[in-house]
Structure 1
Amino acid sequence: MKKRLLILLGVISCFIACKEQEKTQKKDKPNFIFLFADDYTYDAINALGNAEIKTPNLDRLVTTGTTFTNAYNMGAWNGAVCVASRSMIISGLSVWDAQKKYEAWKKDQDLEHTWGQYMKAAGYETYMGGKWHVTAKTQKVFDYVKNERPGMPKDRWDHAAMVKTFAELPKDINPATVMPLGYNRPKDEKDTLWNPADPTHGGYWEGGTHWSEVVKNDAVAFLDETKDREKPVFMYLAFNAPHDPRQAPQEFLDMYPLEQISLPKNWQEVYPDRVGIDNDYQLRDEALAPFPRTAYATKKHIQEYYALITHLDQQLGEIWKKVEETLDPKNTYIVFTADHGLAIGKHGLIGKQ
């Protein structure tokens, strides 16, 4: 009887020890907070040399972490570079192999070969919030999904309809005159039809709370909810910012007076090969500013771009603060990157296509 009791006690002790070891191993695994921006140019971080922009939290990442300054987007199989970029990130594959996954995910195939599923298999609680723009269904990739967003905030640009409109216009009518609100602007200093701080224009303001703040609020809530759980977390936080329409609260726009904004050194009024690359009015993100470019219009777009980035930076700082409150900061990796860059005035270009 004593022998059986000793054996039973030994089994229980071993079970408890194994459980404690398993618990310790889980806690030893690092947490990952992946911060993903949209249309973020390589030179829009103060600590990396741009003295005009205010990015205190990204500066902190630069000064306390590692920066990769020679990372490039591999390209795309279509004009929207972000779709291919995000498929590469989620699959871990190069561009053409990622395209195969992109097609498979449409049919709910190969979902186990996604970043979220890999992390889940490794013992992580996985979370996604914000922009997706990948064919795989988020609910089949992550444990938790909050406020999934489309490729960009709601826009008044119907590509097929606009191209048809341009084609049917008399030759003496400038296509720019029929563009929706928010495009071909500003024409001059008196053009105030579009106000990036006006919530009635929708876009990032749709729903009543700025989309960057929604991603941050959801992330902070999730960190509070999971702070006492045993599993490590993997959070994929994808912001639509600073993609157009570049809307931010007025206080952030006020940080960037036009007289303090410089034009890029390689700024041009017209990209010389515009016609050869079909860079005309129908190319949506190039149609945001008037043709030919003016110094005033370019500076306005840079101003709005910087304001949206600084607003985004504020949200990143609040997420970081919550990470330090709820997770072990010494055992947590915070990664910031973007799907691709943006011209935003360089070479007479505004967009990325």
Structure 2
Amino acid sequence: MNLNKRFFLILLSSILFLSWGCSKATKTVKTKPNIVFIFADDMTYSAINALGNSEIETPNLDKLVERGTTFTHAYNMGSWSGAICAASRAMLISGRSVWDVNDFRLNWKKNKEIDKTWGKLMESGGYDTYMTGKWHVDAQPNKVFQNVVHVRGGMPKDSWDFAAMTKKFKEIEGTDIDPATIMPVGYNRPLNENDTIWTSSDTKYGGYWKGGKHWSEVLKDDAIGFIDKAEKSDNPFFMYLAFNAPHDPRQAPQEFLDKYPVSKISLPKSWMPEYTYKDDMGCGQNLRDEALAPFPRTPFATKTHIREYYALITHLDVQIGKIIERLKATGKMDNTYIIFTADHGIAAGRHGLIGKQSQFDHSIRAPFMIVGPNIKKGAKIDKDIYLQDAMATSLDLAGVKKPNYIFYNSVMDIVDGTRKESHYDGIYNGYRDLQRMIRKDDFKLIIYPKIDKVLLFDLKNDPEEITNLADNSAYKSKVNTLFTDLIQLQKEMKDPLDISSIQTKFNADN
């Protein structure tokens, strides 16, 4: 073989080899996954049929449970105000812990450090970002996300004027006037079975129907509109879909209310007419959430609020199902992760409470499901997480390096089994200067600082948190251990409240 022919064959072989290698590489390159974050408002962990609530219809959320992995113990970290959702969302968007996030909030108002928000971090990873629905965060949404439509406030506007009501409450303070008598329409109801002044399906009250279409349906339409555009793009997308439901005013179409006759609703195991420490923990008649139902609670009033709660969740479930169906139709579901959670839970009658400003699991614990490629189907994990771990998880899935300032952690190492324990040495919660909590090793310690009250619950044997063990001498050591752990967590969280004197008093009294 002459030299020229040999050179030609070598050159040809090299070209074929390189061509084959490039072709093979092209076939194995995997595009970044799409991530859809679906966020409910005021939805407790037990409000899904597939997770044990046989009274509620949630077929589409049930499918997420069946087709993905559920974290059964996902918690919010607390709040500096009665608007728990505002704190929860600020932590979610920033990745900061509850007391640490305030610096971010101040900077957001000055349009600073926006680049450190969730949406911007995903955008830096090459994602088209989209947001619709409830915001309630100090940063401007259109600076956090590239595509923004129908931004909603903290709650649908109704007849509750915060400034006016605060003024009225102060005016009657110290008098014999019952606060219930000055409540606007939609509150302190129903007084009895004949109380029909406010009906949750009546569109004349505005709320979720302001604009002519139920807000959950508007969000569904918004999401599908973006999916239609994303179908034609090769870019990965990140969707932040924040429903207002099932926050009050709990309005749903009549057909959904008809699914839940009051006679078919059962009272929670922890139901009581009035919680002993409601005023000392900041959950009295002056708290908007608690003013929704009459004091003391009645079985009928409680069941009515639960009925409306269930109806709004079932209506929400239908909208989620339609969004997922449209995602499937694009053919992109094989490379899409869906994360579903809520900003916190809600009492809905348990412990004599209606709102979410307590340390009981019904108020601080939310559902958390993740579905997508290589996610184990039907799995349930009981490791403690924070619901704000959703942010770090999405960064992990997107291949975006988690910045050092983010407190929360991806759950993917727990999902895939490489990590066997929680990332957290105890779950912390703080509400204003009125409540503190630690959950650890199947026990929960709750402190009401204003009255030096200490509560201890054995969560394994008493999941409804009914029996207080703190005054039982057999549990004194457990109380002290958890006190020490809680004080350590306070330091890590930059918690400004000193509770050490309460521990000293507890030991002196016990």
> Fold-level match, TM-score > 0.5?
yes
SS in structure 1 of the partner of residue 78 of structure 2: coil
Are 2:265 and 1:261 aligned?
Answer: yes
**Identity fraction in percent:** 61
Structure 1 contact 246–305 (Cα < 8 Å) conserved: yes
Aligned equivalent of 2:397: none
Distance (Å, rounded) in 1 between the aligned partners of 2:342 and 2:287 = 22
Aligned equivalent of 1:3: none
Give matches, 1:75-224, under 5 Å: 75-169=78-172, 171-224=175-228
Higher-Rg member (1/2): 2
Aligned equivalent of 1:35: 38
Aligned equivalent of 1:5: none
Are 2:241 and 1:237 aligned?
Answer: yes
Q: How big is each residue's C-alpha offset from its partner over 1:36-55, in whole Å with a ceiling of 9 and x where there is no partner?
A: 00000110000000000000
- Aligned residue type for 2:150: N
TM-score (norm 1): 0.91
Structure 1 contact 186–289 (Cα < 8 Å) conserved: yes
Are 2:314 and 1:314 aligned?
Answer: no
1:287 aligns with one of 276, 288, 291: 291
TM-score (norm 2): 0.64
Are 2:327 and 1:341 aligned?
Answer: no
- Aligned residue type for 1:284: R
The Cα of 1:277 is off from its aligned counterpart by: 2.2
Distance (Å, rounded) in 2 between the aligned partners of 1:88 and 1:166 = 31
Distance (Å, rounded) in 1 between the aligned partners of 2:170 and 2:109 = 33
- Aligned residue type for 2:198: W
Distance (Å, rounded) in 2 between the aligned partners of 1:133 and 1:74 = 17
**Unmatched runs of 5 consecutive residues or more in structure 2:** 1-14, 358-510
SS in structure 2 of the partner of residue 97 of structure 1: coil
Distance (Å, rounded) in 1 between the aligned partners of 2:249 and 2:234 = 41
Q: How big is each residue's C-alpha offset from its partner over 1:97-134, in whole Å with a ceiling of 9 and x where there is no partner?
A: 32221221111111111111111111111000000111
Q: How big is each residue's C-alpha offset from its partner over 1:151-206, in whole Å with a ceiling of 9 and x where there is no partner?
A: 00002112232232233348343221121000000000000011111111100000
- Aligned residue type for 1:93: R
- Aligned residue type for 2:51: L
Distance (Å, rounded) in 2 between the aligned partners of 1:87 and 1:159 = 21
1:53 aligns with one of 47, 52, 56: 56
**Unmatched runs of 5 consecutive residues or more in structure 1:** 1-9
Q: Cα–Cα, structure 1 residues 177 and 45, in superposed 2: closer, same or farther, change >3 Å? A: same
SS in structure 1 of the partner of residue 116 of structure 2: coil
Distance (Å, rounded) in 2 between the aligned partners of 1:205 and 1:162 = 24
Q: How big is each residue's C-alpha offset from its partner over 1:205-253, in whole Å with a ceiling of 9 and x where there is no partner?
A: 0000000000000100111122011101100000000000000000000
Distance (Å, rounded) in 2 between the aligned partners of 1:255 and 1:172 = 41
Structure 2 contact 48–56 (Cα < 8 Å) conserved: yes
1:227 aligns with one of 202, 208, 231: 231
SS in structure 1 of the partner of residue 241 of structure 2: strand
Q: Cα–Cα, structure 1 residues 76 and 199, in superposed 2: closer, same or farther, change >3 Å? A: same
Are 2:250 and 1:246 aligned?
Answer: yes
Aligned equivalent of 1:6: none
Q: Is 228-237 or 170-179 further displaced after alignment? A: 170-179
Structure 2 contact 158–205 (Cα < 8 Å) conserved: no
Where is the strand percentage greater, Structure 1 or Structure 2? 2
Structure 1 contact 46–54 (Cα < 8 Å) conserved: yes
SS in structure 2 of the partner of residue 284 of structure 1: coil
Give matches, 1:65-76, under 5 Å: 65-76=68-79
Distance (Å, rounded) in 1 between the aligned partners of 2:177 and 2:64 = 50
The Cα of 1:24 is off from its aligned counterpart by: 8.5
Structure 1 contact 39–340 (Cα < 8 Å) conserved: yes
The Cα of 1:327 is off from its aligned counterpart by: 4.2
Pairwise CA RMSD? 2.0
Distance (Å, rounded) in 2 between the aligned partners of 1:320 and 1:24 = 27
Are 2:321 and 1:323 aligned?
Answer: no
Where relative contact order (Cα < 8 A, 6+ residues apart) is larger, the structure is 1
Aligned equivalent of 1:7: none
